[in-house]
Chains A and B, each alone.
Chain A
C-alpha cells in the first residue's frame, strides 16, 4: 500500500492544462473542406461508406453528422479540397452547422448564445443506445487526464438529478421509449446532447428495419407539451467515437461556458 501511495505521489499531476489542444499530426481527426477547386472526380463520394460526402458541379458537400471519421475521403482527394482537421473544437449547436460546403458559404444563421443557467454547474445523465466506444470516451472525459469535472460537470445516476441527457449510439427501436421516458424525467429546463455520428444520424445503421436513425428522429416523435419538449438535440458532437476533447467542447457549449465560445479555431489541417 505504501508503495502504491509512493508511486501515486510521484506521478504527480497528469491533467492536460491547455484547453482544446489540436490532435497530434498523426491523428486522423475529422475531414474538413478547403476552397481548393474540386475536379469532380467523385472519388470521395465513392469511398464514403455512409454517403456523408457528395460532389456536384465543382462543389463538395460534407456532412460531419454522418461521418465515421474513416479518413478515406481525405486520402483519396487529389485536389486537397478535403483535408484532415485536427481541431478539437468541433461541437455545434445547430445540426446544419455540421454540413460543410466547398466553396465555402457564409454562415447562414448565428445561434443565439445559450443561457448562462448551467455555466458553473452541469449535471449530466448519460444514455447509451448502441455505440459502446463512445461510452468509453465519455468515461475517459472524466479521467484524470481530461478531467471534465474541473468545469463543474458531473455524471449523475438519475435523470431526476440531471440538467441534460448525453446520448450516444443510434437509438434503435427498443431504446426509443426508454429514451423518451428518461428525457421526460429530467426536470425543465433540460438539454439534450447528441454525442457521436451514430447519435446524430444513426450511421452506419440508419434506414434499416431497427429504425436506428439517431436522437433527433426519436425526439421528433415526442408529444410536444407546454414548456416544450425539445424537438431536436441542443448540441451535436461529431466524431466516431468522439474524442474526449470533442465531448468536453460539446458539454461546455451546452453550458454556455466562455471557454467553448471562443471563435472556432481552424486547427491544424493537412493530409
Chain B
C-alpha cells in the first residue's frame, strides 16, 4: 500500500541498527543499497540510506491493486556523533562511490574506505567548500585543508606498476559528440590492465539548486538531472511529491506516464543500437536506427509538443490528454515503427559479422555485477542464473545465445536475479511487463537485452493508448507537508533512478537527493574494460550508454 504522506523525516534509528541493516545487503541476493547519503539537521548530521528488499516487494505487491506499491523500500536515518563514520565499503562494495560523494558534499569522512578520494568536486572548488553542508554559508570556519587528514581536492590515479606498463589519459573532452569525463587507461601493450574513470566535470550544483527555488518550479530543474532522461526524472520527481502529499493521479495520467517513459526508452535504446552499429562499422544499421529514433521523437512531439517530452509529466498528472486524432496517429506511427524494426533488429542481432564483434567483449561477471549493484540493462545482462518464467519470453530467442548460456556452469554464478524497478516496485503500472535478462554479461548480452526491451516497450505503449479515465492533472496543495520524506523510484532507460525529497518545518525542501542509474554502472564499465583491447573500449562504453551529467549532477 502507499505510504500516506510519506515517512516522517524525524524518525531516527541507532547507529548500530543502521549499520546492521546496511551490512545485511550483501547477504541477500535480492537486497539493494539504493542510496546512501547524508543530510544536515541544524548543527548535526544524519546518514540516510534507502534499502530495497525485492522479495518483500514481490510478496506484497499484488498485481492490479489501485495504489502504487512502495513496500520493500525502506528509508533509514541515524544521527552521527562526530564528523566521521566507519566505512561500509569493505563489506558492502555498493557503497564505495556513495561514501566518497558524502565527503565531497558534507565533509563526513568514511573511516577505512579502501580507495578514499574526491569523487565529484574538482580542484577549482576551494578546499573548504562542502556545498550541501550548512546551506547559505558553505565555508566551514576552522577547517584547514592543508592539515586535514584527508586528501580532499587532490586527486591521484591508481598507479599500475611493472615493466612496460604505460598510461593513456583520455578526456575530459572526448572525440565524439559526447559528454566530458576522464578515462585513465593503464595498459600493457594493447591490453587494458586497469581503467580508472574520473567524472564530475559537469557538476552543476543540482541538489543545492532544487532547495533554492519554489517547490512548484523544482520539476524544471529535476528534469535536467540528465536531460536525455527527461521523462523518467520528471516521473521520479512527481512520484516523490505525490507521496509527500498523499495524492493519487488519474488512470489516464498513469497510463500516459508509462507511454511517455516507454517512448523515451524506445528512442534511447534505438539510438544507442545505432551507436553500436557505427562502432562496429555497420553503417546501414547506424543510419537506419538513427532514422527510426527520429520516428519515436516525432511520436513524443505529437504526444507532448516536445521531442524530449520536456514539461509533460508533472506532479499531479501530465500536461494534457491526447485527442482522439492524436491517439489514432500515435497508434499508426507505432505500427509503422514495429514493421521497420521487424527487419532492422534482426539485421543487427542475426548478423554474424556484428555478433563476432560483440560476443565475449567487455564481460562483467554476474558476481561483480551483484557486488557493485549494477542496474538497468547492464545489470540484467549480467544476471544470476535466470528463473525460467522470467527469462523465457526473451532469453535465447533471437540467436540462441541466452538459452545455451543458462546451462553453462560458470556463467551467472553468484549473481542476483534480474532487477527491474518496473517489475519489483511498479507492477500496478506494469502488469504486462516482460523482463529481459542474459547471463553472459558481454556487449552482446547488453545489446540483446536492450533489443528485447525495445520489443516490450512497443507492446507497453500500444496497450495504453486507449486509457481515457480521469483528468490530465489533479490539484496539488500550496505547501508540502512538514518533516516528511517522499521517494520516487523509476526504471529509467538506463535503470533504477531515485528522487528523494526531505521537507523541513514549514514544508520547504531541505534535502533533495537524485541517484542516477549511471552512478551504479560506471564501475561496471571499469570492470568490463579490464583485460580488453584498447580499441574495443568505445564499443564497451556504448553498450553501457551511461550518463555523465546524471552522475555529476
Which residue numbers of A lie inside 8 Å of B, CB to CB? 1, 3-5, 7-8, 11, 14, 24, 26-28, 49-50, 68-72, 126-140, 142-145, 155, 157-158, 169-170, 172-178, 182, 198, 204-205, 208-210, 212, 240-241, 243
Contact = CB atoms under 8 A, between A and B. Distances in A.
B172 A175 contact: yes
Interface of B: 121-122, 124-125, 129, 131, 138, 172-173, 175-180, 200-206, 208-209, 212-213, 217, 220-221, 224, 226-228, 230, 271, 284-285, 287-288, 290-291, 293-294, 297, 301-302, 305-308, 310-311, 326, 343-344, 346-347, 351, 353, 547-549, 552
A131 B223 CA distance: 11
B178 A174 contact: no
Contacts of B138: 209
Contact of A178 (B173, B217, B308): B173
Contacts of A173: 122, 124-125, 203
Contact of B228 (A1, A132, A158): A132
B284 A4 contact: yes
A206 to B, nearest CB: 9
Contact of B549 (A69, A132, A155): A132
Contacts of A182: 173
A132 B178 CA distance: 8
Contacts of A139: 177
11 contacts: A1-B353, A11-B291, A70-B220, A139-B177, A140-B290, A140-B297, A142-B177, A145-B294, A175-B202, A208-B212, A241-B307
Contacts of A204: 209, 213, 220-221, 224
A28 B344 CA distance: 31
Given A69-B306, A178-B172, A210 B203 contact: yes
Q: Which 3 A-B pairs have the closest CB atoms?
A: A210-B205, A157-B175, A133-B227
Nearest to B200: A174
Given A140-B290, A174-B202, A210-B205, A133 B221 contact: no
Given A28-B306, A144-B291, 9 more contacts: A71-B311, A128-B180, A129-B180, A129-B202, A132-B227, A174-B201, A178-B173, A205-B206, A240-B310
Contacts of A155: 177
B233 to A, nearest CB: 11
A176 B217 CA distance: 27
B549 A130 contact: yes
Among the interface residues B124, B138, B173, which one has the most CB atoms of the partner chain A within 10 A? B173
Grouping DSSP codes into helix (H, G, I), strand (E, B) and loop, the A interface class, with mixed when no group exceeds half, is: loop
A145 B271 CA distance: 14
Given A144-B287, A173-B124, A178-B180, A26 B172 contact: no
A127 B307 CA distance: 22
Q: Which of B204, B213, B294, B306 has the most CB of A within 10 A?
A: B204
B548 A132 contact: yes
A172 B204 contact: yes
Given A131-B224, A138-B177, A208-B204, A177 B311 contact: no
A213 B291 CA distance: 34
Contact of B310 (A70, A157, A170): A70
B291 A210 contact: no
A26 to B, nearest CB: 6
B305 A71 contact: yes
Given A14-B291, A130-B549, A134-B227, A50 B220 contact: yes
A177 to B, nearest CB: 7
Contacts of B175: 157-158
B173 A130 contact: no
A132 B306 CA distance: 16
B202 A130 contact: yes
B220 A3 contact: no
B228 A174 contact: no
Nearest to B308: A133
Most-contacted residue by chain A among B178, B230, B311 (CB, 10 A)? B311
B486 to A, nearest CB: 20
Given A69-B306, A143-B294, A243-B307, A136 B271 contact: yes
A7 B343 contact: yes
Nearest to B122: A174
B204 A143 contact: no
Given A7-B344, A49-B213, A241 B308 contact: yes
